[in-house]
Structure 1
Amino acid sequence: MPVKIGTRGSKLALVQTETVIRKLTALGIGSEKVIVSTQGDASTQVPLHEIGGQGVFVRALDDAILAGEIDCAVHSMKDIPAYRPSGLVTAAVLKRDSAADFLAHRGAISSVKIVGTSSTRRRAQLLRHDPDIITKDLRGNVDTRIRKMSAGEYDAIVLAEAGLTRLGIRIQGERFPPEKFVPSPNQGTIAVVSRADPSLMEVLSALDHPQTRTDVAIERAVMEQLGGGCFTPLGIYCRAGHLIAEVLSLDGQRTERIETDIKTIEQAREQGRQLRAGAQDLIDDAYKKLGIHA
């Protein structure tokens, strides 16, 4: 029986799923792709924080796994919420691609004034870098975002560098160093979520990259202590155990930040608790201004 792999229907999601299928095929494991529609794909005119955050891309696929319609699903790991339904496991974490953001722009970088992004984190980091930048909401797949910029709706847009690489897109722009523009937790990472079936988990575990799994687990441990999801401007990045995490005000003018080496998940949790204690007012203020109940 081939492994039934669920995916969103976007071009990037399909490319990521094909990566998993190729790896399974190389191991002699057959698979079948199943496209599942999600609320996040259907509601492209609404800011993410108004429809439930990044988790809206995951929920329908979770439901399909639990209903037995698919065996597993492929996700950009940054889209997976901190708290997961029982009966599901992250069976494989692939080797991480670039975690950095990329600023694609028309014309000279010095002429950029209007930047498109739907991320509160990216918006806050841009405003910290240049308070005169004007940010406007931007949803849709990568092709749609680039097309809107090319049509003159934005001078620049912020995209995940890993997504551009996976899609084979080369475009004028600048790579943001992740040490300064700290990315979303788990950005650049592909994960395979499955039902908690030992035989299925064993098959999928062959795709796992141990160092990436360790780094993203550290990031998620910090994220779980911070809370806030994509509502609060926060970046968390760990590379080979070196952790950088920050929480920003919505206008980017205030930041709480930590940078340290981490050896255990409990150390990561403790750093998350310390960061939350220092940033609680920023988190509360973001929820209040965005009209979200904690």
Structure 2
Amino acid sequence: MSRTIRIGTRDSELALWQATTVQNALEKTGHKTELVPVKSTGDLNLDQPLYEMGITGIFTKTLDVAMIKGEVDIAVHSMKDVPTALPKGIVEGAVMKRANTKDILIHKGLDFLDSESGTIATGSLRRKAQWLHRHPGHKVVDLRGNVNTRMQKLEASDWNGAIFAAAGLERIDIKPHNFIDLDWMIPAPAQGAMLIVAMEEDNHCRKALAGLHHRNSGIEVHVERQFLRKLEGGCTAPIGALARIHKDELHFKGALFSLDGKQKIEVERSVSIDQIEDFGISCAEHILENGGKELMTHIKSILNN
């Protein structure tokens, strides 16, 4: 009897969509599968900002434990939620073809954009810092929950708008008409990408997942996560990064912001695809050498108090 691959996933609508997409892809290649939904700590606690909960791995830890205990065989994640250092024994199995990388603003009218006052909701330090960098007079309030919950909270509020990842809303077909693309906002590293992880020793699952890997998406997110890991040093910070491959060249844009958005340190570079080995690291070093080291120290001192 052929082995059934147990697919671990969060139980939100978006997470289940992602897991089902992986399930369908595996079954097309002849594998038997089963979905195993679980709740993460990040889903259960909606009252506390993510950075206060120790954001690194908050949405992935429960599934990591389930894999290590042998309760599931693989796990499907929004890659931007995955820590840059995976737990011992767990490896990347495949990066699926990347979706829309943009952040979007769901709004109740855009007149406030020309005003010095306005209220925007987001649970992301990165989005908050970039919004305040562009609109320093506005107020940014915390917004938590899965995408459906956040949409409902926005509708019931007196906020002018809220920021979402376009990919999540598009995947479950709830992207409304009242949105604008935030083309100026640098996305989270690996935004729009889905990662499937497996146990390092599980050759059966690793071989099954290898056929789902999208090469260019894998290269792009690898560079972005290199950049993040070098800057972060285990600390949450307002960091944006986007790598894009065009023909034989990779173009990269990344930035580190202060928590209040007043300070921005940016890098923008291109490199040949055959010279990207430590490219993300070198871009991060440029940030660190141009005030980023001091800014990261300041951010850590605020968040750790």
Instruction: Give the structure 2 partner of residue 114 of structure 1.
Output: 119
Equivalences for 1:273-292 in 2 at 5 Å?
A: 273-278=285-290, 279-291=292-304
Deviation at 1:143, TM superposition (A): 1.2
Q: Give 5+ residue unaligned stretches, structure 1.
A: none
Cα 1:122–1:182 shift into 2, 3 Å: same
Classify the secondary structure of the residue corresponding to 1:274: helix
Fraction of identical pairs, as percent: 34
Confirm or deny: 8 A CA contact 2:105 2:162 kept in the other structure. yes
Alpha-carbon deviation of 1:280?
Answer: 1.4
Displacement over 4 Å in runs of 4+ = none
1:145 aligns with one of 127, 150, 157: 150
Does 1:220 pair with 2:225? yes
Partner of 1:38: 40
Q: Which residue of 2 aligns with 1:248?
A: 257
Aligned CA-pair RMSD: 1.4
Q: Which moved more, 1:149-158 or 1:60-69?
A: 149-158
Map 1:1-294 → 2, pairs under 5 A: 1-106=3-108, 108-111=109-112, 113-171=118-176, 172-177=178-183, 180-196=184-200, 197-227=202-232, 231-240=236-245, 241-262=250-271, 263-278=275-290, 279-291=292-304
Number of equivalenced pairs: 289
Partner deviation per Cα, 1:220-263 (whole Å, 9 max, x = no partner): 11111101567211101101121101001111111110001133
| Structure 1 range deviating more: 276-285 or 191-200 | 276-285
Q: How far apart are the structure 2 equivalents of 1:264 and 1:243?
A: 11
CA offset at residue 54 of structure 1? 4.5
State TM-score, norm by structure 1: 0.95
TM-superposed CA distance for 1:52, in Å, is 1.1
Q: Distance between the aligned counterparts of 1:243 and 1:202, measured in 2? A: 31
Distance 2:56 2:12 in 1: 15
Counterpart code for 1:148: K
Q: 1:191 offset after TM fit, Å? A: 0.6
Question: For the residues of structure 2 that align with 1:153 and 1:167, how far apart are their CA atoms?
Answer: 25
Q: Which letter does structure 1 place at the counterpart of 2:71?
A: E
For the Cα contact (< 8 Å) 2:235–2:300, is it kept in 1?
no
TM-score normalised to structure 2 length: 0.91
The answer to whether the 8 A contact 1:125-1:252 is kept is: yes
Contact 1:49–1:230 (CA<8 Å) still a contact in 2?
no
State the SS of the aligned residue for 1:96: coil
Cα deviation for residue 21 of structure 1 reads 0.9
* Range moving further from structure 2, 85-94 or 23-32: 23-32
Which piece of structure 1 moves more, 190-199 or 95-104? 190-199
